[in-house]
Chain A
Amino acid sequence: DTGVSQDPRHKITKRGQNVTFRCDPISEHNRLYWYRQTLGQGPEFLTYFQNEAQLEKSRLLSDRFSAERPKGSFSTLEIQRTEQGDSAMYLCASSLDSRMNTEAFFGQGTRLTVV
């Protein structure tokens, strides 16, 4: 296992289209996080999972965003009816049980461009 992998690395879509991103965490990690990063800013929290349970979702996340982690392994993030403001890097990270405050490892991200 070489780390967190995300697919695709780049996605260009027309405004109004739906897009779906995939994240495969480090295999023994039970926590999985989604962040969004725009140019010149730090990653912004979107949501996270403990195994298959979605424990928290940012209030900044509109109803157009949905995330799943059906079997507690990989996760998908879907954005419906994309808007130009959704253009950003979407980062996935994973960690062991965070009560131990272990480090989170990030994937390379999916860069979304909405035209």
Chain B
Amino acid sequence: QQPVQSPQAVILREGEDAVINCSSSKALYSVHWYRQKHGEAPVFLMILLKGGEQKGHDKISASFNEKKQQSSLYLTASQLSYSGTYFCGTGGYAGGTSYGKLTFGQGTILTVHP
């Protein structure tokens, strides 16, 4: 099943913060976050693995809550370059061999205004 992202769209002013959530009805093993700008390829942001870890670089971080089967992406002090569509992709896991494929959410459109 496709993970559900919320909100569907966010409008920010430069410097504001945002949180994007990704929820799954199935047990999560890994969550991959991507950003895609119009007409371009999705760009990898970060990957989180089962275990509740939190990762981040620069002003973008993410958390993984295994019990809630949810991951959240945190964007702080947003910049104009953060505008784009954010996708979470969930990876499967079975019997010690993880699936290669990702199942993506429907995306969250983030717009940052000056």
- Chain A residues near B (Cβ < 8 Å): 4, 31, 33, 40-45, 48, 50, 55-56, 91, 95, 98-99, 101-109
A98 with B42: CB separation less than 8 A: no
List the 3 closest A-B pairs by CB distance, nearest first. Answer: A42-B104, A98-B100, A106-B41
Which residues on A sit within 8 Å (CB–CB) of B106?
40-42
A104 with B107: CB separation less than 8 A: no
Q: How many A-B residue pairs have CB under 8 A?
A: 63
Interface of B is mostly: strand
In the bound assembly, the distance between CA atoms of A8 and B59 in angstroms comes to 36
Residue in B32, B98, B103, B107 whose CB lies within 8 Å of A45: B103
> In whole Å, how far is B106's beta carbon from the nearest beta carbon of chain A?
6
Q: Which residue of B lies closest to A41 (CB)?
A: B106
Using known A-B contacts A103-B44, A104-B44, determine if residue A43 contacts B49 with beta carbons closer than 8 Å.
no
Which residues on B sit within 8 Å (CB–CB) of A109?
41
Most buried by B among A31, A50, A106: A106
A48 with B100: CB separation less than 8 A: yes
Q: Which residue of B lies closest to A98 (CB)?
A: B100
A–B Cβ pairs within 8 angstroms, 28 of them: A4-B41, A31-B100, A33-B101, A40-B106, A42-B89, A42-B104, A42-B106, A42-B107, A43-B87, A43-B89, A43-B104, A45-B102, A45-B103, A56-B99, A56-B100, A98-B91, A99-B98, A101-B98, A102-B47, A103-B32, A103-B47, A106-B34, A106-B41, A106-B42, A106-B43, A106-B44, A108-B41, A109-B41
In the bound assembly, the distance between CA atoms of A104 and B32 in angstroms comes to 9
- Chain B residues near A (Cβ < 8 Å): 2, 30, 32, 34, 40-44, 47, 49, 87, 89, 91, 97-107
> In whole Å, how far is B23's beta carbon from the nearest beta carbon of chain A?
14
Q: Which residue of B lies closest to A46 (CB)?
A: B101
> In whole Å, how far is A66's beta carbon from the nearest beta carbon of chain B?
18
Which residues on A sit within 8 Å (CB–CB) of B104?
42-44
Which residues on A sit within 8 Å (CB–CB) of B100?
31, 33, 48, 50, 55-56, 95, 98
Q: What 19 additional pairs, Cβ within 8 angstroms, besides A33-B101, A95-B100?
A: A4-B41, A33-B102, A40-B107, A42-B87, A42-B104, A43-B42, A43-B104, A45-B102, A48-B101, A55-B100, A56-B99, A56-B100, A91-B42, A98-B98, A98-B100, A101-B47, A106-B43, A107-B41, A109-B41
